[in-house]
A and B are shown apart, each in its own frame.
Chain A
Amino acid sequence: MCLWCRIRQKIPKKKKTYYAAHVMTPLLSAPGKKMAAVQDAPMELDAEKETKPEILSDGTSNLSGNTASGTLSSPPLTAGGAPKQEDQQTLIAVLQFLRRNKLTESVEILRREACLEDQEDSQTLDGSGGGKGDGDGGDANSLLSRVSIASAAAPQSTLTPIPVKNDQPDVSVVLSAYSQQGDPSLYQVYYSSLKNFIESVLDCHRAELSQLFYPLFVHMYLELVYNNHENKAKAFFEKFSGDQECYYQDDLRILCGLTKKEHLKGNEALLDFRTSRFVLRISRDSYQLLKRHLQERHNNQIWNIIQEHLYIDIFDGMPRSKSQIDSMSGSFAGETRREVNKAKVFYGLLKEPEIEVPLDDEDDEAENEEGKPKKKKTKKDSMGSKSKKQDPNAPQQNRIPLPELKDSDKLDKIMYMKESTKRIRLGPENLPSICFYSFLNAYQGLTAVDFTDDSSLLAGGFADSTVRVWSATPKKLRKVKSAAELNLIDKESDDVLERIMDEKTASESKNLYGHSGPVYGVSFSPDRNYLLSSSEDGTVRLWSLQTFTCLVGYKGHNYPVWDTHFSPFGYYFVSGGHDRVARLWATDHYQPLRIFAGHLADVTCTRFHPNSNYVVTGSTDRTIRLWDVLNGNCVRFFTGHKGPIHSLAFSPNGKFLASGSTDGRVLLWDIGHGLMIGELKGHTDTIYALKFSRDGEILASGSMDNTVRLWDSMKAFDDMETDDFTAATGHIHLPDNSQELLLGMYHSKSTPVTHLHFTRRNLLLAAGAYNSQ
């Protein structure tokens, strides 16, 4: 019985409320059961209990529920705002705008439909808000309304001739706060007095308080621009932009081009900046110092900004050093709040299904072949016992419904086990061999590559909208015969699977046509029957590797889809795109099961956790988020990268995460503790490929700088001792040991590395398009 059927049976009549609460539907089908099942996560349970009724009831009420959603309490410093009121404000703003533009008809319609629209609005908000409950707290409303524009209103904007209509209210709400500020001519004075103060405080506090510069600078600049003080804004920018940290250069470049109020309307990046509170982490001492200073000077301007637009996460203890701060900052919206990463994550692996009989057969064969029966036996035993023990950190086996193993999957598992016994044990002394798959004559532009797990197939996505599949083995690719021909074959014969293949179509590669834009992501299903491709045309397509035709086009993103990835168990897949959300899909649903919203910019890459219960996304906002597939919550939020994140990789044991970005650095994260545990410097260009070896000892990174680098990930993980204190405070001190951890650097002649893959025997495969220029 297929998975969807089971789900259907559990939730027979939920279709109507699907849109309102579809984020929570299929996987939460039987709440009662689930609660009984989840035993070791009371906190999680509470959250669920809280969230569920709200969201379900939200369908008819307004937005009030959202503030309390998620596992986090509302932030201490903010007033929280009155969402309802704000929403009405929005409406009024729309009406005003329409009136101003003499669109009287629209005004009428809007008034008439005011209630209805109100509802619709809230529904869409819920739709995207589920994944958002992670603690954007009091600001959630305005942020959500913005997201609703990105995800829901954006498609309209492409269709309707006046997209401004949708943008306008939002902007005025967002920016309205700026309008009541004080004398613009004094901004420079305010800023420089604060600057002087910070520069005069003790060293230990200076580093911490310096964090204030950037957000204050941006907010003050935007206020000036918003209030039409163009020249003052320019002068302000010129005077202070040089003081900002170098990793904010990209943002400053965007900022400095922006000099008119009109420009603010279309600039989503800055809307994000306004709507999300910039998070700073400051020790209590430093904070007190700042507060005292501002109160003494009656510097209300700055105090207001801090109160309204910044979130200061105060901790007790020693102030952090500059390097500690630098390692964590750099993201679009400041650092992570401590409590965000407190939720429990079941990072352990699922228990391997026991496939007993055939495995023994295989082992016997192997014994006969190699004549080392004793050794084999012990190995098998250890493996067996390992798989029987339940990992304490692993999620419940049925936490999310997974497809049942088919016979072919079992065979594949057996193959996998067999291969893994022959696996080369890698280490600093024993580095993998590297095979490079060069794409030649790829004039059309290679954009994405994927290998099947058993390294038998290779898929390339190209900028000319095609997907090409190659066979990496001498076995050629064949299509299944046509229906008419299939009728003729003897269905009882043993080799029926062989007979259904059309020998005439055998070829080394197959082209898949269907997309209407560059293909940015490809991913094979674990059973090698399907291939996913995501494209600029806003769709994700599912291709059959039996017939080499397109089976489904998943439409939902409506904007370029940057990446997609199949769950390690098949059936589910995740995609992320320009609309700033990641979506979880099941292959047999044309609608997404979950929408993970929260990133402030494009979701550039998506990966499934090895246990399929979590999804990680990297974004242009320079943050990484880990989402719980079960309830759509963001359970981990990592900052520290200084550029858009383009590659992610989980360690095979599920405990660690590696991320690579345009800044040429690889960062290592401990998922369980929610901490950064390593920084690997060396690459000189964007890292597009990351992969752990099959046993997790080696991390391979591939970059645009035409190199593959191998890192000693074991050492990196071991070196970082996460004691309770660091775990509690999140203050890590990274050793600068990249050079020690770098095991090898391997150049290609002129081939950027777009993908890396370890075969089951730990041979490293790299792929990229040869660039003749």
Chain B
Amino acid sequence: MTEREERRFAEVPRESIKLMAESSGVELSEEVAALLAEDVCYRLREATQNSSQFMRHAKRRKLSVEDLNRALRWSNTETICGYGAQDALPFRPLKEGELFFVEDREINLVELALATNIPKGCAETMVRVHVSYLDGKGNLEPQGTVPTAVQSLSEDLLKYYQQITRAILGEDPHLMKVALLDLQSNSKIAALLPYFVYVISGVKSVSHDLDQLNRLLHMVKSLVQNPYLYLGSYVRSLVSSVMYCILEPLAASINPLNDHWTLRDYAALLLSHIFWTHGDLVSGLYHQILLSLQKVLSDPVRPLCSHYGAVVGLHALGWKAVERVLYPHLPAYWANLQAVLDDYSVSNAQVKADGHKVYGAILVAVERLLKMKALSLTLAAEGSGAGLPGTTTGAVSFRENSPGLSPPPEPLSEPPLGIASHLQAGGAGCPWEEWTPVSLPAMYCELYSFFGDSLAVRFSTGLPLGGVPPPGPCQPLEGRKEPASSAPNLENTRKMPQLTASMNISPRQDGSPRMEPQPPSLAATVPGRSLARSSSSSVSRSRSSSSRPGRSTSQSRDIFPKARFPLPQAGPPAFSFIIGGRQMGRRCQGRRFQTSFSPTPPLTTHPPRAYAHKLPVIGRVSKPVRRWTCSHYSLHLPL
């Protein structure tokens, strides 16, 4: 006991006291040194005990030099200086003698002052709040460990999960609808998210079953739309599932009767939806996706349906993606597509039909590209005068125009994803190193060389630019820019061989879905109005060549030559379709349209479908789809 008690404290030996005294020039007798040593010990202990209360009140476990100094200060003793550093002070013995000292290195102040590695300032003190425990239960693991979903699943959640998956993947469409709706709005399913994501990742195993794929995609949509879910890293998994549906040559597409096109359209739409609503989560993915799309597009071995997927995928990612990836790649790709389309052998019929699909998809994509580019030019020009408001109103109007289920509004300014950079980095299919923006007219000319009037047709109808009515902001541009830049080009384009087609069909009686939908950007357009416009197209086109400044109505679209369509007459549903002419391009040999049809549809039951395989301009036909599905991607002709 006695020894233990004594050894509980460090003692200062009298030798140390003597040494200290000597160093300050005082000679101490043995007795005095012993007394002093004892007193020093006691005082040290006392100071330590006093300092511990400062530690306790500072709510620390570690006694600091500062604490001791405070205790010393309150007992009217001089404080000790120079030991405030956080680092441990090494206490070393001297080899020669029995001397111990605190290592005190010399610091070269010059070096310190000129050092280039300036230490970072410490971050601002802040408070962060997080819910540690819900209802006092749920996760009993220590904070910081991520609770595994398995453990935190309650009985109810498990039941919910089973019911929902059963309903969605089951046969009853009504049940599925209810389940999807709940999935979209349920606020308590965060714990189930990994499960659902896992289920969705099963797309690869059901690639033969279009129906199931569709259901899974719907599930993705519901999850994405659920405002209470934070997708976090699961969004990658979802995107990859969606990409699978867009790009992969699905087992289901072997059978031409399967409408895998709709699935791809839907998936592409979903992709764009994810990007515009969860942009913050997937921004890193954008490049990857662009690259993979480009890769597919540039791979001639891939089936056409994959190419189709790549095109609609690019289209879904926005017009800039189209401009940067699809447009530069088009000349190379065109040759392949041309070959397919020009092969009239019977064995090639199916492939050719697919080729038409791709053709149509590209057409839609470039159309949007041109429109958006024109709009951006308008707004850019206007921006110099009107500043921000122009863009904002534009964006707002976009938003207003988009119906609930349509692809989300696409602002003119893309998110800061930097398309060019990645293409340079991994530029497998990129023919040039540095991408230079092509001027709108030049782009149009080039595209026209591929598509001919089928492109022009698309611009002869509908409202000019993304549904923004032309009056107001558009006007200044018309006056200033058009006459100068586009007039000569227009002269050229006008000389190009034109495709003429005439048809006469009553939109009302068809009942085919391609008739009712309008692209969301054109949502404001009333059918009657569009018809009226197309009726006046030839007139306006002739006007456009003269391009008189000061014209105030719908001039922005005059930049594009108009197809000469005869007035569609309302009347009995009669098909009369004549396509003729020869289109010569600069880059390719030209696309010959010498198809002629018998005036009566061969298949009465599915007339549109029959044409779908033969028409150079392909409509989304096979079965009635939801409005938003076909609205943007279906290549409907404004017949």
Binding site for B on A (CB under 8 A): 157-158, 163, 234-235, 237-239, 241-242, 253-254, 256-260, 262-263, 266-267, 430-447, 458, 460, 462-463, 468, 470, 472, 509, 517-518, 520, 536, 559-560, 562, 578, 602, 604, 620, 644, 646, 662, 685-686, 688, 704, 710, 743-744, 746-749, 752, 754, 766-767
Say whether B128 contacts A260, CB under 8 Å: no
| B278 proximal to A (CB < 8 A) | no
Contact with A along B123-134 (1 / 0, CB 8 A): 111111111111
Q: How far is the CA of A338 from the CA of B192 in the complex (A)?
A: 61
If A430-B135, A560-B74, A747-B142 touch, whether A440 touches B59 (CB-CB below 8 Å) is no
Given contacts A436-B129, A438-B127, contact A644 B56 (CB under 8 A): yes
Contacts of B38 in A (CB 8 A): 259-260
Q: Check B59 against A257 for contact (C-beta < 8 Å).
A: no
Given contacts A436-B129, A441-B126, A520-B57, contact A266 B46 (CB under 8 A): yes
Chain B interface residues (CB < 8 Å from chain A): 1-2, 5, 8-9, 38-39, 41-42, 45-46, 49, 53-54, 56-61, 66, 70, 74-76, 122-137, 142-144
Which of A254, A620, A743 is close to B136, meaning CB atoms less than 8 Å apart? A743
A257: chain B residues at CB < 8 Å are 9, 41-42, 45-46
Known: A431-B136, A440-B127, A472-B129. 11 other contacts (CB 8 A): A256-B5, A259-B42, A263-B42, A432-B136, A433-B131, A438-B129, A441-B122, A447-B58, A517-B70, A560-B57, A749-B144
A260, B56: Cβ atoms closer than 8 Å: no
Minimum distance in angstroms from B188 CB to a CB of chain A: 14
Question: For the complex, what is the distance from the CA of A495 to the CA of B143, rounded to whole Å?
Answer: 44
Evaluate contact between B42 and A440: CB separation under 8 angstroms: no
Provide the residues of chain A in CB contact with B127, threshold 8 Å. 437-440, 458, 460, 470, 472, 509, 767
CB–CB B57/A447 < 8 A: yes
The minimal Cβ–Cβ distance linking B6 to chain A, given in whole angstroms, is 8
- Chain A residue at minimal CB-CB distance from B86: A443
Contact B143 A436 (CB under 8 A): yes
Q: Does A253 contact B132, Cβ atoms closer than 8 Å?
A: no
Q: Provide a sorted-by-A list of 12 A–B residue pairs whose CB atoms are within 8 angstroms.
A: A238-B1, A242-B1, A432-B136, A439-B125, A440-B128, A460-B125, A509-B126, A518-B58, A520-B57, A644-B56, A686-B59, A710-B136
Shortest CB-to-CB span from B294 to chain A, Å, is 43
Verify A441–B124 contact, CB threshold 8 A: yes
Residues of A within 8 A of B39 (CB): 260, 262
The answer to whether B135 and A431 touch across the interface, beta carbons within 8 angstroms, is yes
Bound CA span A436–B134, Å: 11
In the complex, which of the residues B9, B58, B122, B136 contacts A434, with contact meaning CB atoms closer than 8 Å?
B136
- Tell me, in angstroms, the Cα distance from A744 to B58 when the chains sit together: 27
Residues of chain A contacted by B45 (CB below 8 angstroms): 257
Cα separation A27 to B195 with both chains bound (whole Å) = 67
Interface-central residue, B58, B66, B127, B129, by most chain A CB under 10 Å: B127
CB distance from B135 to the nearest CB of A (A): 6
Closest to A472 in B: B129
CB pair A662–B56 under 8 Å, yes or no, is yes
Chain A residues near B135: list those with CB within 8 A: 430-433
CB-CB under 8 A from B131, the residues of chain A are 433-436
Contact (Cβ within 8 A) A435 B60: no
A468 near B46: Cβ-Cβ < 8 Å: no
Inside 8 A of A433's CB, which chain B residues have their CB?
A: 131, 133-136
Question: Considering the chains assembled together, what is the distance between the CA atoms of A758 and B210 in angstroms?
Answer: 54
Find the A residue at minimum CB distance from B9.
A257
B74 contacts A747, C-beta separation under 8 Å: no
Chain A residues within 8 Å of B133, by CB: 433-434, 744, 746
Complex CA–CA separation, A559 to B50 (angstroms): 13
Name the contact of A237 in the complex, choosing from B5, B46, B57 (C-beta under 8 A): B5
Of B2, B5, B46, B142, the contact of A749 (CB 8 Å cutoff)? B142
Given contacts A241-B1, A441-B126, contact A253 B70 (CB under 8 A): no
Cβ contacts under 8 Å, B136 to chain A? 430-434, 710, 743-744, 746
**B130 — which chain A residues lie within 8 A by C-beta?**
435-436, 438
| CA distance in complex: A90, B2 (Å) | 38
B56 and A163 form a contact (CB under 8 A): no
CB proximity of B127 to chain A, nearest CB, Å:
5
CA distance A266 to B122 in the complex (A): 42
Least distance between A78 CB and chain B CB atoms (Å): 31
Q: Looking at the assembled complex, report how far the CB atom of B131 sits from the nearest CB atom of chain A, in whole angstroms.
A: 5
Report the minimum CB–CB distance from A456 to chain B (whole Å): 13
- B45, B57, B134, B144, most chain A CB atoms within 10 A: B57
Least CB separation from B138: chain A residue: A433
Output the nearest chain A residue to B1 by Cβ-Cβ distance.
A242
A508 to B70, CA, bound (A): 33
Which of the residues A266, A509, A644, A704 comes within 8 Å of B61, measured between beta carbons? A704
9 smallest beta-carbon distances between A and B, as pairs:
A431-B136, A238-B2, A749-B144, A747-B142, A434-B133, A441-B123, A436-B132, A257-B45, A434-B132
Q: Which residues of chain B are within 8 angstroms of A430 by Cβ–Cβ distance?
A: 135-136
Q: B395: shortest Cβ distance to chain A, in Å?
A: 26
Contact B56 A646 (CB under 8 A): yes
| Residues of chain B within 8 A of A458, CB atoms compared | 127
B128 and A468 contacting across the interface, CB-CB below 8 Å:
no
Chain A residues with CB below 8 A from B144, complex form: 749
Q: Which residue of B lies closest to A254 (CB)?
A: B49
Smallest CB–CB gap between A126 and chain B, Å? 27
Cross-chain contact A766 with B53 (CB below 8 angstroms): no
A463 to chain B minimum Cβ distance, whole angstroms, is 5
- Min CB gap A269→B, angstroms: 9
Q: Determine the residue in chain B with the shortest Cβ distance to A235.
A: B2
In the bound complex, CA of A435 to CA of B75 (Å): 42
User: Closest Cβ of chain B: how far from A681's Cβ, in Å?
Assistant: 20
A451 smallest CB distance to B (angstroms): 11
Query: In the complex, are the beta carbons of B1 and A744 less than 8 A apart?
Result: no
Give the residues in chain A near B142, CB-CB below 8 Å: 747-749
Residue of B nearest to A258 (CB): B42
Q: Complex: how many Å from CA A253 to CA B59?
A: 22
- Measured between beta carbons, the chain B residues less than 8 angstroms from A468 are 125
Give the complex CA separation of A437 and B143 in angstroms. Answer: 13
**Chain A proximity of B43: nearest CB distance (Å):** 9
Bound Cα distance A746, B39 (Å): 47
In the docked arrangement, what's the CA distance between A710 and B136, Å?
9
CA distance A752 to B55 in the complex (A): 14
Q: Which residues of A contact B137 (CB under 8 A)?
A: 431, 744
Give bound CA distance, A767 to B74, whole Å: 30
Residues of A within 8 A of B42 (CB): 257-260, 263
CB closest chain-B residue, reference A753: B59
Residues of B with C-beta under 8 A to A253 = 8, 49
Question: Cα distance A9–B56 when bound, in Å?
Answer: 44
In Å, the complex CA distance between A256 and B45 comes to 10
- Bound-state CA distance A433–B41 (Å) is 51
Q: What's the least CB distance linking A606 to chain B, in Å?
A: 13
Partner of B132, one of A262, A517, A688, A746: A746
Known: A447-B58, A536-B70. A602 touches B134 (CB 8 A): no
- What residues of chain A lie closer than 8 Å to B125, measured between beta carbons? 439-444, 460, 462, 468
Do residues B76 and A158 form an inter-chain contact, with CB atoms below 8 A? yes
Decide: A157 near B2, CB < 8 A? Known: A440-B126, A536-B70, A747-B142. Answer: no
* Chain A residues near B9 (CB-CB < 8 A): 257
